[in-house]
Every structure is written in structure tokens, then in C-alpha cells.
Amino acid sequence: MLSVPTLWTVFVINFLALGLIWAYVMRCYPSFDAARYWTGSASVAAVGATLAMLRVVFPDSLVPLLFAGTALVLAICLAAMGIRKFYRQPISWRGTLVLTGTTFAALSFFIFVYDSVAARMTIFTIAQALPMALSLKLLLSPHEGRVNPGARLAGIVIILVLAIYTVRLFAAVTGVGGGISYMEFGPVQSAVILVLVFLSMSLNFGFLLMAMDRLRNEVADLALLDDLTGVGNRRHLVQRLTEECARSERSGEPFALLVIDLDGFKGINDTHGHAAGDACLQHFTLMAQTRLRPGDMLARTGGDEFCIVLPSSTLREGAMIARRVLEVCRTDAEQCAGKDIPISVSIGVAQWTREIGFYPDRLIAAADHALYEAKRDGRNRFAAYDPAPPPAPVLAAPKMPELDLRKRA
């Protein structure tokens, strides 16, 4: 049988190690705010376990258990705050302080005023279980169409911990199995402590998996964004077009694509410099985004070329968006003064058809064809791609000479 000091020493070492890991994550990824709360949670839990060890040094005093229990409740509150921060939910320090302060006051009452082990265990269990139970919905609910694997693991661990807390509270209140408390350590209590140590490590491992999944997704998102303008890049465009083609192939619902080229962009770079050209690209991006609808996607495919994907849109609706983009560019050009550089664009519009199928490059080629027509017609305008061939001219039938039957007769 493991001794009481050994069990609490394991607790302290476990949480110190977890706190060190989270401190390293927090230092390496300063923008990952949840790591700060999980660092604080592990550190406060280590302090709480250290205070609990003082119960062995001062066996006649319950003061160490008072501060240890309060610290462990605060640690769980910080862990729950980290979960909310991970999912970008609002956090409340007031709620944490109220729960922690209430726990301290209630434990103090049932230690110094009315000594009751069952009451202390009830308060301690409820205070620990409440933040964890409130976090379950966030952990086990799908976010962006999927459940984070680390969050699923953390949720399962929390359910197991809550089950252990329930059994422990039932035994403490009813005295079944000799009861379970922090005052006397028997085989059952030792096993419970060891299981809780393992589950605390598993919970933090789930948090680490959550962090890894978030950071991996952020890296993947960066790989799909244009560095200069912040909109999608060509890879993202092809990925989105492939998805839209597959969706349209299944449903038969069309969508539209706009291919945009800044007129005379090479001249802007040659005359004003590449910094001015970059500023023009960024300015056009901001202007175009003001004329898009929710769900539309703007992407920069390279140089001065952009594309706009318009889901569930016809060629007519695509032409309407193209007209809006042209109008905002023309209005902005009219207001240019001094060193301001006017921007004009040419736009090609195309619509997905059954002939295009699963091949987004065919749709891009169709929109490019319309773009070239807009360029040939004088630029600063748009053209729509019409796949229908022009109707063949109707040739008049040759007039047959009339026969003079009288002469034959």
C-alpha cells in the first residue's frame, strides 16, 4: 500500500510537470490564450497538492485541507476557463471568484463552526464538478462540422472523473465501504487517488491534442491564404472550385466564377514602384470585398489576377456582382487626387454547366475567355461567357424558274 505522503508527492510532481509543459506551450505560442489558463490550472493544482501534504505534518489540523481544497477548486475553474477560451467563448472571472470564495467560506464553516465530514465532501465535490460539467457541452459538441479528437478525449475523462466524484460522495455521506475522506487513507482511497492522477494526466493530454489540432488548422489556413492581401490563394481557389463543381454535379444547381485582372498594372509597378503596386492590390481587395455577399469567396491567383466564386449563382447574378465591383472601382478612381493611383479592372464572368462537370479548370478557362473579350472591348468593363454557338445564318432557297406550260403545249 502506498503511503499518504507518496500519493500526494505523485500529485505534486504530476501537476508540476503539466504546468511546465503548458508554460512552454504558452511561451512558444503567445497567441494561444487557452495555454495561459491551463498553465495556471496545473500550477495552482500543484500548490493545492502541496498544501494537502501538510495534513500529514499537522495531523490534528484541518487548515491545510481547507486551503488545499480551495486551491483545487480554483485549478478546475481555471481549466474550465481555458476550455471556454479555446472555443472563443466569453469567460467570467467573477464566476470563478464567487465559486472559489463560496467554497472557502462553506468549508471554513464546516471545519471551525460545525465539524461535518459529509458536508465538507459534498461542498468540495459540487464545487469541483460544476465547472467540469458546464464544459462538457463545449467539448462534445461539433465545431465547424467536427468534434476535436482531443476535446472528445477530454470530455470522456471529465465524465469518468464526475462518476468517481459521485461514488466518492455517496460513500462519504452514507458511510458505505467505510466512507472515503481525505482524513483517512485506506486501500480504496489510495486507488481513487491514483486513478485521479492518471485521469488528470489524460485530461491535460486531451488539452494538448486540442492545441495541436488548432495549431495544425491554423497552419493549414495560412497555406491557403495570400500573404499580401489576406484573401484565398490559388490553392484555396482550386479547392473551393472543386467542391462547388462536385456540389453542382450532384444537385444541378449552377454557380458562377469571376476572373478579374487589374488594367495596366505593370505600368503602375514600373512608374510608381512595387510598393505602390502592392498597395493597389490591397486597396482593390478591400473595395471588392465590400461588394460581395456572405458566402462569396475572393482569391488572388497571382500577380494582379483575382477570382471570385459565387455559390448558387447564375450567369446573370455573376454579371450583377461584376457590375458592382466595376462601379466601386470607377467611383474610387473618380475621387483620386494628387498621388492617388486610380484602379480599373476587367472582368470575365462564367457559369458552371453540365459540360464542365468536375473540372474547375474548364470553368476558369471559360471565364478567362470572357476576360479577354472585355480586354479587347476597351478594358474597365466586364464580359460574360456564352457557351452557345451563334446561330447559323438561314440561307434562302434558290428560286426555281417558272415553267411556261403554254409554250410546251
Task: Express each pLDDT in 119-159 by its tens digit.
Answer: 988 999 999 999 999 999 999 999 877 888 999 999 999 99
Is residue 14 located within the same domain as residue 100? Answer: yes
Which grid cell is 180? 472515503
Which grid cell is 191? 486507488
pLDDT band at 409 (very low <50, low <70, confident <90, very high): very low
Q: What is the pLDDT of residues 254-268, one digit of tens each?
A: 999 999 999 999 899
Residue 387 has pLDDT above 80, yes or no: no
Last-in-domain residue among 189, 222, 255: 222
Residue range(s) defining the domain that contains residue 261: 234-384
Residue 58 has pLDDT above 80, yes or no: no
Cα–Cα distance measured from residue 150 to residue 133, given in angstroms and rounded to the nearest whole number? 17
User: Is position 39 within any domain?
Assistant: yes
Residue 276 burial (C-beta neighbours within 10 Å; 0-12, 13-18, 19+): middle
Is residue 271 located within the same domain as residue 129? Answer: no
Residue 132 burial (C-beta neighbours within 10 Å; 0-12, 13-18, 19+): buried
User: Is position 394 within any domain?
Assistant: no
pLDDT at 407: 39
User: Is position 319 within any domain?
Assistant: yes
Between 220 and 106, the more confident residue is: 106
Is 258:305 a contact under the CB 8 Å cutoff? Answer: no
Is residue 148 located within the same domain as residue 75? Answer: yes
pLDDT at 391: 52
Write out the H or E segment, with its range, that includes residue 347: strand 345-351
CA max distance for the chain: 146
Cα–Cα distance measured from residue 210 to residue 41, given in angstroms and rounded to the nearest whole number? 16
Query: pLDDT averaged over the chain?
Result: 87
Last-in-domain residue among 196, 222, 248: 222
User: Is position 397 within any domain?
Assistant: no
Last-in-domain residue among 160, 195, 222: 222
pLDDT at 156: 96
Distance of CA 249 to the CA centre of its chain: 28
CATH of the domain at 244: 3.30.70.270
Nearest C-alpha neighbor of 257 from the set 131, 84, 123, 382:
382
pLDDT band at 398 (very low <50, low <70, confident <90, very high): low
Residue type, 120: R
User: Is position 392 within any domain?
Assistant: no
Is residue 218 located within the same domain as residue 270? Answer: no
Q: What is the pLDDT of residues 14-30, one digit of tens each?
A: 899 999 999 999 999 88
pLDDT at 388: 62
Mean predicted confidence (pLDDT) in 170-185: 63
Is 180:171 a contact under the CB 8 Å cutoff? Answer: yes
Is 86:210 a contact under the CB 8 Å cutoff? Answer: yes
Residue 7 has pLDDT above 80, yes or no: no
pLDDT at 153: 95
Is residue 95 located within the same domain as residue 144? Answer: yes
Between 372 and 183, the more confident residue is: 372
**Residue whose C-alpha cell is 465501504:** 177
CATH of the domain at 155: 1.20.1070.10
User: Is position 398 within any domain?
Assistant: no
pLDDT band at 220 (very low <50, low <70, confident <90, very high): confident
Distance of CA 68 to the CA centre of its chain: 36
pLDDT band at 173 (very low <50, low <70, confident <90, very high): confident
User: Is position 393 within any domain?
Assistant: no
SS3 146: strand
Cα–Cα distance measured from residue 325 to residue 344, given in angstroms and rounded to the nearest whole number? 10
pLDDT band at 186 (very low <50, low <70, confident <90, very high): low
Is 192:164 a contact under the CB 8 Å cutoff? Answer: yes
Cα–Cα distance measured from residue 118 to residue 68, given in angstroms and rounded to the nearest whole number? 17
pLDDT band at 196 (very low <50, low <70, confident <90, very high): confident
Is 287:341 a contact under the CB 8 Å cutoff? Answer: no
Is residue 47 located within the same domain as residue 100? Answer: yes
Which grid cell is 241? 472550385
Look at the chain and report how many structural domains it folds into: 2
Is residue 61 located within the same domain as residue 187? Answer: yes
Mean predicted confidence (pLDDT) in 372-380: 91
Half-sphere exposure of 142 (CA within 13 A, CB side): 3
pLDDT band at 405 (very low <50, low <70, confident <90, very high): very low
Mean predicted confidence (pLDDT) in 1-26: 84
Is residue 210 located within the same domain as residue 242? Answer: no
pLDDT at 364: 94
Is residue 99 located within the same domain as residue 193? Answer: yes
Is residue 329 located within the same domain as residue 359? Answer: yes
**Residue whose C-alpha cell is 469571376:** 258
User: Is position 401 within any domain?
Assistant: no
Cα–Cα distance measured from residue 326 to residue 337, given in angstroms and rounded to the nearest whole number? 19
Is residue 172 located within the same domain as residue 269? Answer: no
pLDDT at 408: 38
Is residue 300 located within the same domain as residue 192? Answer: no
Residue 396 has pLDDT above 70, yes or no: no
pLDDT at 184: 55
pLDDT band at 223 (very low <50, low <70, confident <90, very high): confident
